[in-house]
Amino acid sequence: MPGVSDRASGTEAAPGRLIVLLGPSGSGKDTLIGRARAEFAARPELMFVRRVITRSAEAGSEDHVAMSDEEFDAALDEGRFALTWAANGLRYGLPRDIEAHLAAGKVAVVNGSRGAWGVIRQVFPSARAVEIKVDAGILAQRLERRGRESAPEIEARLARAASLTSPVEPDLVIDNSGPVETAGAALIAYIGRSLA
């Protein structure tokens, strides 16, 4: 498991629901989240969480808050994260405002990590997993196309995707090997049911 940490909150479980998309890098989680964000733009009871990542703002397609390691450490010291974890040489954080949103009984959607799923469930017991799967050959092509990693880094990501067997029992499994419209519609329908 990657290095994972969380704050010791001691707070009661939030009544809202956190929907966590899980799947290997390159499976299209950010693309699907983008489609859902556009569909539900007029729904203030739904939050699409922007993760904080120690990665350049220009790297990749994810709408994230970029921080250096030093900035991340300072934010951690200031208690600005509800949850943090590390994977693939990067550090990730979920901003603390997610807590008030869930405490109000609302729904939030975030791009998560299979290696951090156990800690996510500890901090947010209402969390539900949506697993995004994709054919291994298609996954390799997508990682190469996005141009974010070197060939050895891509190989490492593919090996990690194949070996990671975290005990996730997803509420929904979406195969994103085919048309993104099909996978996007499945996620939108699931979020719609969660808001109902």
Strand partners, 114: none
What pLDDT band is residue 10 in, cutting at 50, 70 and 90? Answer: very low
Q: How far apart are CA 51 and CA 178, in angstroms?
A: 27
Q: Are strands 81-87 and 4-6 parallel, antiparallel or unpaired?
A: antiparallel
Q: Which residues contact 147 (CB under 8 A, 6 or more apart)?
A: none
Nearest residue to 161 (alpha-carbon basis) of 113, 129, 128, 117 = 113
CB 20 within 8 A of CB 125: no
Give yes or no for residue 165 having a pLDDT over 60: no
Give yes or no for residue 8 having a pLDDT over 50: no
* Largest Cα–Cα separation, the chain: 45
* pLDDT given at position 143: 72
17-31, 66-80, 155-169 — which is least confidently predicted? 155-169
Across residues 9-31, what is the average pLDDT?
78
Instruction: List the structure tokens of 128.
Output: 């539900």
Mean pLDDT of the chain: 84
* pLDDT given at position 152: 73
pLDDT tens profile 107-141: 999 999 888 999 999 999 989 999 999 987 787 77
- For the chain, give every domain's residue range: 15-195
What is the pTM assigned to this prediction? 0.81
Q: How far apart are CA 57 and CA 47, in angstroms?
A: 21
* pLDDT given at position 164: 58
Give yes or no for residue 93 having a pLDDT over 60: yes
pLDDT tens profile 50-91: 999 998 766 655 778 999 999 999 999 999 999 999 987 899
Please identify, in words, the CATH class of the domain defined by 15-195.
alpha beta
CB 180 within 8 A of CB 32: yes
